[in-house]
Amino acid sequence: MMLTQKEKKVSRSIVLILAGLFLVLWMSHETLAQGKEVFPSKTVTIVVPWAAGGSSDTAARVMAKHLSEIWGQPVIVVNQPGATGVIGSLKLAASEPDGYTVGLLSTAVQTTQYTSPNPTDRHAYTYVIGAYFEPFTMAVKGDAPWKSLKEFVEYAKANPGKITHSSSGAASTDKLVAMAFARRSGIQLPDVPFEGYAPAVTAVLSGKIHSTSATLANLAPYLKSGDLRVLAVSSEKRLSEYPNVPTFMENGVNLKWINWNGILGPKGIPAERMAAIQTAVEKVYAMKAWQDFMTTSFIYSFPLKGDQFKTQIDKDDPVLKEMIEGAGLMRAK
Amino acid sequence: MLQDRIASLVFVVLGIVVMIESARLSLDNIHNPGPGFVPFFLGLFMVILSFLSLMAPDKKVRAEAFWNNWQRGKSTFFIFAGMLVYLVLLKMMGFYLDTLCCLIYLIKLSGGRSFKRSILISIPTMIVIYIIFGRLLIIPFPRGILGI
Amino acid sequence: MDILQGMLHGFGVAFTPANLLACFFGVLIGTAVGVLPGIGPSGSIALLLPLTFSMDATSAVIMLAGIYYGTMYGGSTTSILINVPGEAQSVITCIDGFQMASQGRAGPALGISAFGSFIAGTIGVIGLMVLAPPLARFALEFGPAEIFSLVLLAFALVGYLASGSMVKALMMAILGLLFASVGMEIITAVPRFTFGNVNLQSGIGLVPLIMGLFGVSEVILSLEETGPEVEINAKKYAPRFWELFPTRKDWKDSFWPITRGSLIGFLIGILPGGSGIVASFSSYAIEKKISRHPEKFGQGTIEGVAGPESANNAAAQGAFIPLLTLGIPGGSAIALILGALRIHGVIPGPLLIKEHPEVFWGVVASMYIGNFFLLILNLPLIGMWVRLLNIPKYLLYPMIVLFCIIGAYSVDNNLFDVGLLFFFGFLGYVLKRLNFELAPLILGFILGPILESSAKQALIMSGGRLDIFVSSPIATVLLSLSGLVILTAVVSTLRRSKAMEALKREMEASMDKE
């Protein structure tokens, strides 16, 4: 099919217009800054190693929205899920340490050092600033007969193997917490892994499974309606929204572990860029919009930054390793 | 018939490999199945079924093996070769450039008369893709060595 | 507030200009996404999530929901016209839909598809409106043992999907099950068949698998069949206007399939593990079983299009029940909508209807409107789509491959998935050439993991005892049904082969006589 004269003209102009459009968009994307740059001067990417719609992803998007207002540059969230966060975490560690690519990583990056056949390495990151933490829980059905953690433990001791527990995955942190609880209380707590928090919580809602250790965000709507009840939380102190719920420690169980989320980057981000990110993020934390978000999502402030952040992670590592070994989940080559 | 026999044979081998690999992963028993339990039996069924299909070949299959007809299969071979090249070059050339080349190649292979026409169609297409998927929807396509 | 009040409130919310626009925009994008092979509802909802930030919670969900059920409309278009599913859920429509198109009946197929989708969608919304809370509680009765029995029943229906050799269909189902076991095992987190590759640790993605097996392989096959030198359709496909619409007979034949499909789809959509594919496949199997001419399935019967298309639309509406009444997402796309609600500060749960009635009723009302928009959008477009067949091959096929690549990559932003896409494209080509049917493979791939995980979960719950599978009435009933289906399938296969044997002997005898 040979093009007619007119068709040739039309297609030529289309190509020219498109080429022009392309060039304009292209140039605006890669701004050629002259002289001293203000950071950031182009798009910042926040990598989330989980699927879109989850709690980390939600928090990252809210953060990205406010950060782009503060910086006047686009801040986009890129999801790179897979292998319980390993794929995205490994890709982040391998990316350019120029401060333009960071990630919202969580406790999972520590756990997968030991549980994943392709392990992560906590030393491969720059620890910019923490975002929030979530405590784990011991939650049961609203009409269950146990009014306190002690009653639960007594029942489990008297009826070994009859109580079942649901977790969000075979190597998930909530399972680690639950198994540690079981070991340190001296009870049997067979764990049924599901794919994610939603089916794990649903299993308890339906009464088919007796308990779960999901984070509060996943339990909140059911706590409010009374369909579920929390017997204990895994944080260091009681939570302000639930002043009547004791911690594991208060119950005599030597267990305190939380799921932290924080902004990490590949190792070697220049100090001034790291400081710029920290300043901007702290501004976001001060905003009412962020505080409201934290309240509705049941996440709590975790503002450790830089060296403090890394030191805390390193300190917690042996505790985590013991929990993983105790649960029989060491897999790393 | 021949191609059917070869296919069944391949599946038998596949089934056996699966069974061996699963056995390595520990089977345990039906009350507490190990990770290899399910794949082991899947492999077993595969072997059984493949044997059955060896015994009673499918009557609807053409008599001639499909890889024998070069005339017809020429374009197919080139497409697969092209796909392989595309994958190998992807990290180096970056998404846009590599896919652009892929598009040009495919259009020519599918009957577009000349390379010039292929290029004329491919470039505007990739530009539109860049605008919609790269900028509007911000899909993070990987960039290549040249930074594109 | 009771249902009537709720609906009035809902329509009040849905008819505001902002929400009408959100709804229209959503279904428009949904249709486009559905038509484009490769990109599916999960991918597009994830990509458009940032757009919803400037909206309020209700408008955001209205738009995203519109995208979700909109893709169920558009997905059948390419399935029917070029045997390439627009998105994963439309795979079943390829079977009879494409055959109809090859016989020049693309218009009626598209038409029945659109109408069936509309009716099913509307039935689904009515179900959502009237029965949401009790149905959601019913769905909670499905624990691992019950899910196992249900999926086993669905799996037993695989036999009805096969139009050719049963042995080969079963082999494909097993292959699908094997592909599904790649990844970390659900109970022990031990990696299976991953070859040490971190990208396979979470298993093989559905999109690269389906688009490779059906999309890429179909392109290669078609190019091979007719050869690049020959322009397709030497005489262009130019149907007369009235040939575009379903005939009266079509309507008559489709009535019951659409009704049954809607009900089946709706119920499956509510249940955990139920998805568009499972719904459409179940409808197809049931229609084939009930039909007076089952041998015609696979050659282009309208029932094979009407039923599955209705089922997957009804399932899309049903999927919102657990989300809106209990805050439980039934699939990845719905989970995204859950996330969108969370970003807007609305946490879906049992109290959503009470605390945010405008969200619940507004979304339900918008679904009526959305289905209506979709019908109006899709019907006139049939004429246009049918002309799609006239696009020269050298444009159409590379574009399909292009969109498959983009779709496969954008699921997890991982290049490995593009590699998988081509691998499955190659595999699909080889399998099709060897006369293997691919639908059972998809079934095995999707249902397999659920079967395995629910069985193992149930066994942990019961401490290893097998009687948990008959511990509840639901589980027992479903298990017995599965047994029945498998038994009848085996018996009829044996009978068929015995009949074949007898026929062969007769023919040989008569040949000897000559």
Supply C206's token pair.
């559905």
Whether residue C219 lies inside any domain: the answer is: yes
Amino acid (1-letter code) at residue A286:
A
Cβ contacts from A onto C, under 8 A: 152
Q: How far apart are CA A82 and CA A240, in angstroms?
A: 34
| The pLDDT value given to residue B114 | 80
CA distance A35 to chain C (A): 33
Whether residue A158 lies inside any domain: the answer is: yes
**CB-CB neighbors (< 8 A) of A78 in chain C:** 413
Of the listed ranges A101-115, A141-155, B56-70, C146-160, the least confidently predicted one is B56-70
Which domain does A214 fall in, by range? 137-251
**Residue the block writes with tokens 């009626």:** C108
Which domain does C284 fall in, by range? 3-471
Give the mean model confidence (pLDDT) for residues A159-173: 90
Give the residue from A251, A269, A304 where a domain finishes. Answer: A251
Percent of chain C with pLDDT over 70: 95
Partner residue facing B111 (CB), from C168, C228, C436: C228
Determine the residue of chain A that is closest to C187 in CA distance. Answer: A170
ipTM: 0.92
**CB-CB neighbors (< 8 A) of B134 in chain C:** none
| The pLDDT value given to residue B143 | 83
Amino acid (1-letter code) at residue A151:
E
Contact between C85 and C94 under an 8 Å Cβ cutoff? The reply is: yes
- B88: number of Cβ within 10 Å: 12
**Record: contact B131-A19, CB cut-off 8 A:** no
Residues A168 and A193 in one domain: yes
Of the listed ranges A44-53, C118-127, C234-243, C404-413, the least confidently predicted one is C234-243
Give the mean model confidence (pLDDT) for residues B41-55: 90
Residue C36, SS3 per DSSP: coil
Is it the case that residue B13 has pLDDT exceeding 90?
yes
Question: For chain A, what is the radius of gyration of the CA atoms?
Answer: 24
Supply C309's token pair.
């298309």
Give the residue from A251, A276, A294 where a domain finishes. Answer: A251
Q: How far apart are CA B48 and CA C363, in angstroms?
A: 51
Name which of C429, C393, C433 is nearest C229 in CA terms.
C393
- The secondary structure of chain A, three-state, reads CCCCHHHHHHHHHHHHHHHHHHHHHHHHHCCCCCCCCCCCCCCEEEEECCCCCCHHHHHHHHHHHHHHHHHCCCEEEEECCCCCCHHHHHHHHCCCCCCCEEEEEECHHHHHHHHCCCCCCHHHEEEEEEEEEEECEEEEECCCCCCCHHHHHHHHHHCCCCCCEEECCCCCHHHHHHHHHHHHHCCCCCEEECCCHHHHHHHHHCCCCCEECCCHHHHHHHHHHCCEEEEEECCCCCECCECCCCECCCCCCCCCCEEEEEEEEECCCCHHHHHHHHHHHHHHHHCHHHHHHHHHHCCEECCCEHHHHHHHHHHHHHHHHHHHHHCCCCCCC
Is it the case that residue A34 has pLDDT exceeding 50?
no
Partner residue facing B112 (CB), from C394, C409, C455: C394
CATH of the domain at A182: 3.40.190.10
| The pLDDT value given to residue C233 | 42
Name which of C288, C285, C247, C250 is nearest C265 in CA terms.
C285
**Record: contact C165-B25, CB cut-off 8 A:** no
Quickly list DSSP for C228-291. Answer: TTSPS-SS-----GGGGSPPHHHHHHHHHHHHHHHHHHHHHHHSTT--HHHHHHHHHHHHHHH-
CATH of the domain at A262: 3.40.190.150
Residues A53 and A130 in one domain: yes
Amino acid (1-letter code) at residue C263:
L
| The pLDDT value given to residue C77 | 87
pLDDT band at C131 (very low <50, low <70, confident <90, very high): confident
Residues A194 and A109 in one domain: no
| The pLDDT value given to residue C429 | 92
| The pLDDT value given to residue C509 | 77
Quickly list DSSP for B14-55. Answer: HHHHHHHHHHHT--EETTEE-TTHHHHHHHHHHHHHHHHHHH
Return the residue in A22, A26, A78, A87 with the most chain B beta carbons within 10 A, the one to mutate for interface testing: A22
| The pLDDT value given to residue C227 | 54
Determine the residue of chain B that is closest to C457 in CA distance. Answer: B32
Whether residue A301 lies inside any domain: the answer is: yes
| The pLDDT value given to residue C394 | 82
DSSP secondary structure letter of residue C183: E
Domain count, chain A: 2
Give the mean model confidence (pLDDT) for residues A143-172: 91
Give the mean model confidence (pLDDT) for residues B51-75: 69
Name which of B118, B117, B91 is nearest B105 in CA terms.
B118
Of the listed ranges A20-34, C393-407, C450-464, the least confidently predicted one is A20-34
Amino acid (1-letter code) at residue A145:
P
Residues A124 and A77 in one domain: yes
Give the mean model confidence (pLDDT) for residues A65-85: 90
Q: How far apart are CA B86 and CA B95, in angstroms?
A: 10
Give the residue from A191, A225, A251 where a domain finishes. Answer: A251
**CB-CB neighbors (< 8 A) of A11 in chain B:** 120
Query: Which of C492 and A154 is assigned the larger pLDDT?
Result: A154
**CB-CB neighbors (< 8 A) of B135 in chain A:** 25, 29
Q: pLDDT tens digits, residue range C219-249?
A: 888 887 765 444 444 345 556 666 677 888 8
Q: What are phi and psi of A166, to 5 degrees?
A: -110, 145
Q: pLDDT tens digits, residue range A179-206?
A: 999 999 999 999 999 988 989 999 999 9
Provide the residue count of chain C: 514
Residue B99's Cα: distance from chain center in Å? 17
What pTM was computed for the model? 0.88
Other chains touching B, judged by 3 or more CB pairs under 8 Å: A, C
Residues A290 and A245 in one domain: no
Determine the residue of chain C that is closest to B130 in CA distance. Answer: C406
Whether residue A38 lies inside any domain: the answer is: no
Residue C185, SS3 per DSSP: coil
Q: How far apart are CA C97 and CA C105, in angstroms?
A: 9
CA distance C465 to chain B (A): 6
Other chains touching A, judged by 3 or more CB pairs under 8 Å: B, C
| The pLDDT value given to residue B61 | 58
Whether residue C8 lies inside any domain: the answer is: yes
Whether residue A200 lies inside any domain: the answer is: yes
Cβ within 8 Å of A, B 106-135: 120, 123-124, 127-128, 130-131, 135
Cβ within 8 Å of C, A 282-321: 292-293, 296-297
Supply A140's token pair.
């049961």
Q: How far apart are CA C50 and CA C31, in angstroms?
A: 20
| The pLDDT value given to residue C239 | 61
Give the mean model confidence (pLDDT) for residues C318-344: 87
Which residues, in sequence order, are CB contacts of A135 under 8 Å at separation 6+? A215, A216, A233, A234, A235, A239, A258, A259, A300
Whether residue A39 lies inside any domain: the answer is: no
Q: How far apart are CA A39 and CA A22, in angstroms?
A: 25
CA distance C203 to chain A (A): 9
Whether residue A299 lies inside any domain: the answer is: yes
Give the mean model confidence (pLDDT) for residues A69-87: 90
Residues A227 and A301 in one domain: no
Determine the residue of chain A that is closest to B111 in CA distance. Answer: A1
Residues A194 and A224 in one domain: yes
Residue C323, SS3 per DSSP: helix
Q: What are phi and psi of C83, to 5 degrees?
A: 60, 25
Q: pLDDT tens digits, residue range C35-48?
A: 888 888 888 888 88
Residues A122 and A146 in one domain: no
Whether residue A19 lies inside any domain: the answer is: no
Cβ within 8 Å of B, A 3-32: 11, 14-15, 18-19, 21-22, 25, 29-30
Determine the residue of chain C that is closest to A89 in CA distance. Answer: C198
Q: pLDDT tens digits, residue range A303-319?
A: 888 889 999 999 999 99
Whether residue A223 lies inside any domain: the answer is: yes
Domain count, chain C: 1
Q: How far apart are CA C189 and CA A31, in angstroms?
A: 46
pLDDT band at B63 (very low <50, low <70, confident <90, very high): low
| The pLDDT value given to residue B134 | 85
Other chains touching C, judged by 3 or more CB pairs under 8 Å: A, B
